[in-house]
Structure formats: structure tokens, C-alpha cells
Amino acid sequence: MMDLKGIYPPIPTSFTQSGDLALERLQQNLIHLSQFELAGFLVLGSNGETVMLSQSEKISVYEAARQAIPARMLMLAGTGGQSTRETIELTQAAARSGADAALVLNPFYYKGLMTKEALVSHYFLVADQSSIPVIIYNMPANTGIDMTADTILAMSEHPNIIGLKDSGGNLAKMGEIVGKAKPGFQVLAGSAGFLLPALTVGAVGGILASANIAPQHCIDLYKMFLARQMDNAKNLQNRIIELNAFVTREQGVPALKAAMDILGMYGGPCREPILALSEPNKQALSSLLTSTLT
């Protein structure tokens, strides 16, 4: 079974000022971040503005990203769609492009119909027709659906479903899943804001927006936990909470891209209707970056 241990940045998708894909800029960011001891990257997650891209654009991003990501590092590809058919097509396209595993966000538009039975059936059908392993993605802030431990455990029984990225932050639920899932099922924290607590209940790493802008801090926190340097780990966890909250919960993708620009990478614009970060917020972000990273 694939080993998911470690830290993964969910890389933002780069756009030109006119809104077209800027694939060379994306590749430059991936090459820069590959210098760190990361386990790999998530391409086209929530921070990749995946819902803003057409299917053909998504495939172009998969292909460009794989070209830039070293073979030693895993490429996780976001492939979740609103229909099972679309999700299967994207998952198969990601596999052809060289992705190592698919991260599948649950369908959410017809919330009232997304019962346990519907969701389990969806994930099983996708996993059945995928040549690469499938990872469940629970992101209630964006989907409006917080999948229960019972639902996720039922999904985990499929032999080709190997793990979970949970961005909800419910540590009791994470611990229950770790304790009850089949051997080898792996849980990844979905935010640097609760990385250390997630590790303490059995998570094996994290897919963290902050790993794009503070990769060494996230790696160090993970290594401190493994070395049982808990006081140091707690101090570092507390240090990154404020910056992480600003670029995830409070301001979102515009703040993450603005932070990348400030740090010398390419953030660039978001796709409309998402607006750029305001100047006052850019100033606040710059101060947070200075205080956190120096």
C-alpha cells in the first residue's frame, strides 16, 4: 500500500493577468518547493481553485505538474466532480498524466440526496474504475457536508481506498477513524492549524496550505513530533496558527497567492469572481509573514 507519510502543499493553480493558465509559473513554484523535504504535492485541491477550471484545463494542469514534480515525490491529484461519471473520467485522466493517487472531494450540490448510501456507492464506483489509489477528501467548509466517521469507515473498506484528508478539524472523529479503519488506512490533516493535534491521534502527515509558504516550519513540526520533541512541537504549532488562519479560514486563496508573491514565488491572480486581497490585508499579511518566518 502507498505510504502517505509526510507533508504535502496543495499547490495553487497559476493564472495570467488575463485569466489563462500559466503552466510555466506553476512548474516554477513546484521546482522551488521541491527543494524541501516534502513528501509530494496535491494538484487541484481547494487551494488549486479546481472548481474554476474546465475538464481540459484540469488535464493540462495534471500533465504540467507531473513534469515538474520529481519522481521521488508523490503527486496527488484532485479529481472530485459533481457526478460519478465526471469523477471517474478525471481520475482516469489524472492516472494517465502520472498522478500517484487521486484525492476525491465528495459531490455536494444536491446535499439532501448525499446520503451515506449515495456517497459510499459513489466512492466505490470511482475506486473500482481507478488504476491509482483513491483518498477521500472531507472539506465541510466548502462542500457544506461533513461526512461522518461511520460513512468514511464504510468507504475505507474498499481495497483501493487508502486514506482520508480531513479538513474539518474534528479530532475525535479523526481518532475514531484511525482506530476503527482497516490496517494501513491513513489519515492526513487538512490544515496546519491542527497538524500537531492530528498527529497525536494517529494522522500520518498533512496536506497543508501553509506548506506552500512555510514549508520548513511544517516539515520541522512533523519531524519534532516523530522525534517526540513535544515542547518544541507545541511551540512551533502555536507559532504558525495565526498565519495559517489568515491564509485559510479568514482570507483564503487570495491571501495564499499574495503570500507567495511576497515571498518571491508566483501567486498571481485568482479566477473571477474571486477578488484579489485588499491592500490593508496585504500589509497585515506581510507583517504576519515576517513575524512567523523570521
Q: How far apart are CA 213 and CA 227, in angstroms?
A: 24
**Which residues lie closer than 8 Å to 219 by C-beta, 6 or more apart?**
7, 36, 37, 38, 211
Residue 228 falls in which region: left (phi positive, over 0), alpha (psi -120 to 50) or beta:
left
Distances 42 to 11, 69, 223 between C-alpha atoms, Å: 6, 11, 20
Q: What pLDDT score does 224 carry?
A: 98
- CATH homologous superfamily for the domain 6-233: Aldolase class I (3.20.20.70)
Percent of the chain with pLDDT over 70: 100
Q: How far apart are CA 8 and CA 219, in angstroms?
A: 9
Rounded to 10 degrees, what is the CA torsion of 261, 267, 271, 272?
A: -10
173 is catalytic: no
CB of 131 within 8 A of CB of 103? no
Residue range 36-80, pLDDT digits in tens: 999 999 999 999 999 999 999 999 999 999 999 999 999 999 999
Q: How far apart are CA 215 and CA 10, in angstroms?
A: 11
For 241, counting Cβ atoms within 10 Å of its Cβ (0-12 exposed, 13-18 middle, 19+ buried), the class is middle
Q: Where are the domains of the chain?
A: 6-233
Instruction: Choose among 206, 271, 247: nearest CA to 9.
Output: 206
Q: Which of 58, 111, 165, 173 is catalytic?
A: 165
User: C-alpha cell of 6?
Assistant: 509526510
* For residues 160-189, average pLDDT: 98
Instruction: Choose among 83, 82, 22, 86: nearest CA to 48.
Output: 22
pTM, to two decimals: 0.98
CB of 170 within 8 A of CB of 147? no
Residue range 3-14, pLDDT digits in tens: 999 999 999 999
Q: Is 262 helix (H, G, I), strand (E, B) or coil?
A: helix
Q: What pLDDT score does 1 carry?
A: 81
CA-atom Rg of the chain in angstroms? 18
pLDDT at residue 120 above 90?
yes
Q: What pLDDT score does 55 carry?
A: 97
